[in-house]
Structure 1
């Protein structure tokens, strides 16, 4: 009898112990005794960058709702940093202990710069917009539960081409002996993104040119050179030939290409300059002036644009670039592009559209009643 009663007491004791253990583990979570940890905030900054990699520093704040600090059997924290679904960096930290309330955990991860060209392709295809996403998860070994909070996102926009759209008239001078300048006027320019592949990014450009001469002018080649922070991004020349009739306008279309293989090299300079890029496109042309062919730089068409980003919203605010970033009124959840430069045309008093011959006379200052082929002795 005593042995049976004793055994029954021991069984009750074991059951009670199991209940306590259960309450300390997953059962405690269900009973509300132990609260599940959560992510209260995340902040990323760029660290050192070199030719192949970019360091990303992450401060992740974990909230422990329990009245005391505990390891909870060890927390495992995971995170991924993505730009338009292109994974830039990821990290994992195991066996994390947290105090009660909020605890900030520091992570350092290294991003492969080889991921920058795929991101660039997605950025241009998406209308120069990028969604920066930080995806985090916290797993408790004791609770056997993973907390996956909502992703932290930030929108980044750039505007590389809009300033190329211009209706300001610019002169084209040959700067050659015995040739009267200007030889052409550029009355309008426009640009838009063309086909984007893994290898290259196309820019479709349009020029409306006016010929003030009394003879047709041939444009047999239009060359270009693109740099971003002095990094060579593309060069070449168009293959189409155009003839601009005398005293008339002609629309010339050209496609120029950015070499995507050099995007990761540009990325390094962009971060080294506090996320500021100077885009520059230089043009030159081969013109047929009557019986004379000349190769001339189109200095009045030189295009410059300054692009500024704040990808994580945490870049340093000292210096001149911070002032423009502050003045644009961007919020903590949004980054805007600074378009601080524009084409650098040579101004003329009136635009030429092919119907005003008076402007031709007043601008060139060299009037003759015979066709001299552009040569004034």
Structure 2
């Protein structure tokens, strides 16, 4: 027998032995997993934070914690991890990694992916249509090609906002023209209402209504209501009404109009929402300003800033549960102004103020405070006790 033949036989024998050994090892490992002696790595948790933000993209930084229940590490090319972040079933970010190596116990796998800012407008539409509610879904999985098994992990979180809730108000606010042609206030706004309209992919309408009272002896005409809507200084809507409203003497009229946020500007707003230096991380300020063009009985017109109606609301989100879950809240009356909102200064001594409400302040013992009368369109009588004494509210009922 030649030396070459002997070497060939020995080599073939070693290869066969190695191959058989590898097959036995794989079979043993597979059998150990099958009978439960070894476990399949799984996802313990997924932690996301926002990273760098540009005009086009938002970086999502992810720490995916993989739990390996085995006493030895796993580092096979056939092990992969994947995750998806969705908001109201709209995929916002997706990432993963092949060939993951994990030690025994818990191991953190850092991942980075990009969220396209142009996904923000579709999410916003779903958020408003869903009653300002968003379900944030985190779905992750670990797959072992060797074992042919996948272990999945899911976590859901709800975030809510209330951008318009405080706009609804019965607070009486004066409209002052600051004009030599008339005395102030020329009008009173006794009620404001606002709600989302029918949202489209392009616009988010806000249906608004003002109840306006005219205290004058002649009718006044509101020929135009203008508005500007900003979020963190980003102009979301600007416009004016296209029809006028006649406010009869000593009467009220409801002015209805619709603003429309331009959804194409939402990705620009999103960048400011995540910018710590603007208002803080995931914090925005909604601001709506109004003006009115009023026509006097003589035909003269004056443009009046409706500063008393300026609406401000703070929007705070915590999409990935990075901190305390908060919901936006602005001023308690939603107007961004301080005061009792009545626009009047009640003093005894016969002063007459016509803002649309009437209050007759007379105590039951026959003493009068001087005949103060306030008229803002809502008449109220003071309650007195049966023995003729005052019930303790000083004859003033809240609006």
Q: TM-score, normalised by structure 1?
A: 0.82
Report the counterpart of residue 296 of structure 2 in structure 1.
289
1:359 equivalent among 349, 360, 374 = 374
Measure the CA separation in 2 of the matches of 1:20 and 1:307.
58
Change (3 A) 1:241 1:131: same
Measure the CA separation in 2 of the matches of 1:48 and 1:73.
31
> Structure 1 regions of 5+ residues with no counterpart?
1-13, 316-329, 362-377
1:207 equivalent among 198, 205, 210 = 210
Report the counterpart of residue 337 of structure 1 in structure 2.
327
Q: State the Cα deviation string for residues 256-313 of structure 1 (Å, max 9, x = none).
A: 1111010000000000031111111010111121022222111111111111111111
Residue 352 of structure 1: how far off its partner (Å): 4.2
Conservation of the 8 A alpha-carbon contact between 1:194 and 1:204: yes
Measure the CA separation in 2 of the matches of 1:134 and 1:17.
38
Equivalent residue pairs, number: 330
2:319 equivalent among 311, 322, 325 = 311
After superposing the two structures, state which structure 1 stretch, 82-91 or 69-78, moved more. Answer: 69-78
Report the counterpart of residue 301 of structure 1 in structure 2.
309
Measure the CA separation in 1 of the matches of 2:246 and 2:357.
14
Measure the CA separation in 1 of the matches of 2:336 and 2:148.
64
Residue 360 of structure 1: how far off its partner (Å): 5.3
SS in 2 for 1:123: helix
More helix by percentage: 1
Conservation of the 8 A alpha-carbon contact between 1:249 and 1:354: no
Pair 1:100-2:95 in alignment: no
1:117 equivalent among 121, 135, 154 = 121
> Structure 2 regions of 5+ residues with no counterpart?
1-18, 347-353, 360-371, 377-399
Report the counterpart of residue 84 of structure 2 in structure 1.
80
Conservation of the 8 A alpha-carbon contact between 1:238 and 1:254: yes
2:250 equivalent among 231, 247, 251 = 247
* TM alignment of 1:366-377, pairs within 5 A: none
Report the counterpart of residue 191 of structure 1 in structure 2.
194
Residue 229 of structure 1: how far off its partner (Å): 0.6
Change (3 A) 1:299 1:234: same
Q: TM-score, normalised by structure 2?
A: 0.78
Residue 19 of structure 1: how far off its partner (Å): 5.7
- The structure with higher relative contact order (CA 8 Å, sep 6+) is 1
Conservation of the 8 A alpha-carbon contact between 1:74 and 1:97: no
**CA RMSD, 1 decimal:** 2.3
Report the counterpart of residue 158 of structure 1 in structure 2.
161
Report the counterpart of residue 280 of structure 1 in structure 2.
287
